[in-house]
Amino acid sequence: MKLAFSTLGVPGLPVRDVVHLAATHGYHGVELRAHPEEPVHPGIGPGERADVVREFRDAGVEILAVAGYTRVAAPGDDEPVLTDIRALLDLARDLGAPFVRVFPGGDTDQPPGEADATAARRLGVAAEYAAGLGVRILLETHDSHRTGADATRVLGVVGHRYVGALWDVMHTWLGGEQPQETYAALAPYLGYVQVKDIASADDTTPLPLGAGVLPLTECVDVLSRHHWDGWLCWEYEKRWYESVTPLPGLLARGREHLDRLLNDSA
């Protein structure tokens, strides 16, 4: 498996510094948080996109994904959502990233099944555009669709190879799903896996990998047993928890922890 980290852990850091951190600490790739407060987002022009590609290429580091914030199950008109997804897909294509991340974002006040249908409809339309660019849209296990079982209610209806799943280990665990259950649900759709660690279900403040309660060993074991050979991406949510230890000082130890998990499960 290849290892990456998310720029959510180093908010606002210039691309050159992000690439240097990845290369220095032995990470194969980076998940780019695509938000206007970050250096890389859909609003940057062709020249800036080319500069980003060059920085990563010269360092031998891959761009794993463009992590957007589009909520595909949210109430409202379809077109603004589809416009956002297309912009993310265009950015990913220009950067050479294989994936775009979207959120479910369903409203708890929606009637049962409406959020599923809304998300499936939008993703089905966006899938054709994604296929033309060669970029996969991944629905993250998050918010209204926290578990693998939740996500497959949407993905099974879409039924398109350019729409898949991003397994966020924290959210499936918070949803009461065991790693084997999540893998069984998401295996036909799985793009990559986000790993992290927290103190408890009541305290989701990010911790160094291995210092919390999330079933990282079990997740890696499940993936290894099924000979899954994709990406593990460490999402350290520094952006939302400003007081936590800065990610750069944790990257070496995080890489060592993931290496141990992979070696022990081999």
Cβ–Cβ < 8 Å for 176, 207: no
Q: Which whole number is the average pLDDT over 92-119?
A: 94
Amino acid identity for residue 89 in this structure: L
Cα dihedral 108→110→111→113 (10° resolution): -90
More confident residue, 250 or 266: 250
- Name beta bridge partners: 215: none
Q: Mean pLDDT across the chain, nearest whole number? A: 97
Q: What is the CATH number of the domain that holds 243?
A: 3.20.20.150
Q: Domain limits at 228?
A: 2-265
Q: Please, which pLDDT band fits residue 111 given cuts at 50, 70 and 90?
A: confident
Amino acid (one-letter) located at 178 = Q
CA 11 to CA 242: how far, in whole Å? 10
Angstrom distances, CA of residue 150 to CA of 156, 177, 239, 258: 10, 10, 27, 27
CA distances from 74 to 82, 109, 121, 128, 165 (A): 12, 11, 12, 21, 18
- Measured CA angle at 152 (ends 122, 226), to 5 deg: 130
Do residues 102 and 140 make contact, with C-beta atoms less than 8 angstroms apart? yes
Token pair, residue 170, equals 């924290």
Q: Structurally, how many domains does the chain consist of?
A: 1
pLDDT tens, residue by residue, 49-104: 999 999 999 999 999 999 999 999 999 999 999 999 999 999 999 999 999 999 99
Long-range contacts of the stretch 196-203 (C-beta < 8 A, 24+)? 196/168, 196/169, 196/170, 196/234, 196/235, 196/236, 196/237, 198/170, 201/174
pLDDT at 235 over 80: yes
- Indicate if the alpha-carbon torsion angle 252, 258, 263, 264 is positive or negative: positive
